[in-house]
Amino acid sequence: MPSLRPCVDARRVARDSQNVSDASTNDAPHAGRVPDLGALQVALRRSVQSAIRRHSEPHGLTVEEFAVLNALRARGSGSVTQVARALNYDSTSVSRSAFRLTEQGLLNSERSSTDRRVVVLSLTDRGDAAVREMVEGVDDVYRQLLAGASPDDLEGFVKTIETIRTNFQSME
């Protein structure tokens, strides 16, 4: 069965992207091919989720639950809505994850003292220890995934992703 993963030649992508830029200034239609960002995103997302799953499942956690814990590790505490926005998840799924994580003793979940409708989440000591252990493992896998990429490659990759996000936001 053929692989569905896109085969990407970084030089071709850069050349094609430049051709598209040149084409847009010259008004020449179809002068360059645009890389299939959707296929690249799916392949990258699967690789990242697989790395996370490898380290979250032994703790009995889903990728989404790991993401909630990791977001709270980064921010200290936050409302369900704040965590959902930070992760680009819907509040209902974060609330469901928070309930399961609270049941497992990994999260504290308390009503806000200023607005009883708001649920504030924070890591328990056990949750903090678990997420730190998982992050170490995930970071090791990320290093393996990025092996062979130069610092310039990584800087260019991050800059390109940021440019795509900025361009998308300006389209909304």
Neighbours of 52 (CB within 10 A): 23
Compute the CA torsion angle 46, 162, 26, 19 (nearest 10 deg): -40
For residue 132, what pLDDT is reported? 94
67-119 pLDDT, tens digit per residue, is: 999 999 999 899 999 999 999 999 999 999 999 999 999 999 998 888 888 88
Token code pair at residue 138: 């995930």
Checking if the pLDDT of 13 tops 50, the result is: no
* List of residues 6+ apart from 30 with CB closer than 8 A: 23
Neighbours of 46 (CB within 10 A): 12
CATH topology (fold) of 58-147: Arc Repressor Mutant, subunit A (1.10.10)
The residue extents of the domains of the chain are 58-147
Neighbouring-strand partners of residue 110: 120
Distance CA(133)–CA(28), nearest Å, equals 53
Token code pair at residue 22: 């040149």
116-170 pLDDT, tens digit per residue, is: 888 899 999 999 999 999 999 999 988 988 999 999 999 999 999 999 989 988 9
For residue 29, what pLDDT is reported? 46
